[in-house]
Amino acid sequence: TQLLEQSPQFLSIQEGENLTVYCNSSSVFSSLQWYRQEPGEGPVLLVTVVTGGEVKKLKRLTFQFGDARKDSSLHITAAQPGDTGLYLCAGDNFGNEKLTFGTGTRLTIIP
């Protein structure tokens, strides 16, 4: 069974600070997706990274896929209270329709 470990599991920081969340595996994935889940709702896709070494930016969020396609990171600049939520990474297993989800990082931004 493939595993995706996320770190940290919990993170609580002040508004305006920067942070990085990590998603690591010993397995290779064809792509990596990042989702955010807010209380009472299902996860919503933020971004998909496909190519090893790829960097994608979504406003203050920067996503990177590792060169070997085994890991990914999410960096948030100048965090806002609206960034609060559960962040999940998910690996695509070379088109077999199923995703392997990470363990999740619960982020709280304190105003």
Partner 1 sequence: DVKVTQSSRYLVKRTGEKVFLECVQDMDHENMFWYRQDPGLGLRLIYFSYDVKMKEKGDIPEGYSVSREKKERFSLILESASTNQTSMYLCASTMGDRDHQPQHFGDGTRLSIL
Is 61 an interacting residue with respect to partner 1 (CB under 8 A)?
A: no
Residue 96 phi, psi (nearest 5): -90, 20
Q: Any contact of residue 9 with partner 1 (CB under 8 A)?
A: yes
Q: Give whichever of 91 and 109 is closer to partner 1, judged by the CB atom.
A: 91
Task: Give Dmax (Cα) for the chain.
Answer: 42
Query: Mask: binding to partner 1, 71-90, rule CB under 8 A, as x and -?
Result: -----------------x-x
Residue keyed to tokens 């896929």: 65
Site string for partner 1, 31-60 (x = CB under 8 A): x-x------xxxxxx--x-x----------
User: What does DSSP say about strands 31-37 and 44-49: parallel, antiparallel, or unpaired?
Assistant: antiparallel
7 binds partner 1 (CB under 8 A): no
Q: Does 107 bind partner 1 (CB under 8 A)?
A: no
Pairing of strands 105-110, 10-14: parallel
30 forms part of the interface with partner 1 (CB under 8 A): yes
87 vs 79: CA distance, rounded Å:
14
Cβ(71)–Cβ(5) below 8 Å: no
Q: Write out the residues near partner 1 by the rule CB under 8 A.
A: 1, 4, 6, 9, 30-31, 33, 40-45, 48, 50, 88, 90, 92, 95, 97-99, 101-104
